[in-house]
Homo-oligomer: A and B are copies of this chain.
Amino acid sequence: MNTALVIVDVQKGWDSAVWGKRNNPEAEGNISLLLDSWRSSRMPVVFFQHMSRNPKSPLFPGQAGNEIKDIVRPIGEEKVFAKNVNSCFIGTGFEDWLRESGIDSLVIVGITTQHCVSTTARMAGNLGFRTFVVSDATAAFETKGINGEKYDAETVHALSLATIMGEFATVISTNDILKMI
């Protein structure tokens, strides 16, 4: 009951071509399985919705891309936080809400592995929360390096997980989390 499922930025705008190639198309399906499990167990679920400040972003408010995807849409009284930056902890009151709710463990999923998920997991671990990141319930996009070199989405994903594993979070699979619920 003190372990929250934290669903970060699973929004329709990620399906835009502007982001380049993505890995792990199964992420949303795995998040949906986790969400079903959390709901069945009446454990806390928290959604984050990114409100981009860039009018050209597919995640900018006031268009379909800003909406949370149907497969993991919040229902009833489930908590939804809006955010403007990558970290779920900055500008949101999320930490205070967790402390007041008695939640000390977080299972983090969502998009993207290298930006919002990594940053939120880093802060969660450093703030003292027991932190899990679900490796197959997150996804990354391809990116360029500082010298123009290209990294495919799977490499970005894998190395983003490697750099948080052990130091900030336990990295675990959907199946292994489901076995623990």
Contact = CB atoms under 8 A, between A and B. Distances in A.
B119 A126 contact: yes
A76 interface: no
Q: Which of A86, A123, A146, A147 has the most CB of B within 10 A?
A: A146
A171 B146 contact: yes
Max chain B CB contacts within 10 Å: which of A87, A123, A163? A163
A127 interface: yes
A162 interface: yes
A118 B163 contact: yes
Contacts of A149: 158
A145 B123 contact: no
Given A115-B163, A145-B165, A159-B160, 12 more contacts: A86-B122, A86-B126, A90-B126, A118-B122, A119-B123, A119-B126, A144-B162, A146-B158, A146-B161, A147-B158, A155-B159, A160-B163
Interface of A: 85-87, 90, 114-115, 118-119, 122-123, 125-127, 135, 143-147, 149, 151, 155-156, 158-163, 165, 167-168, 171
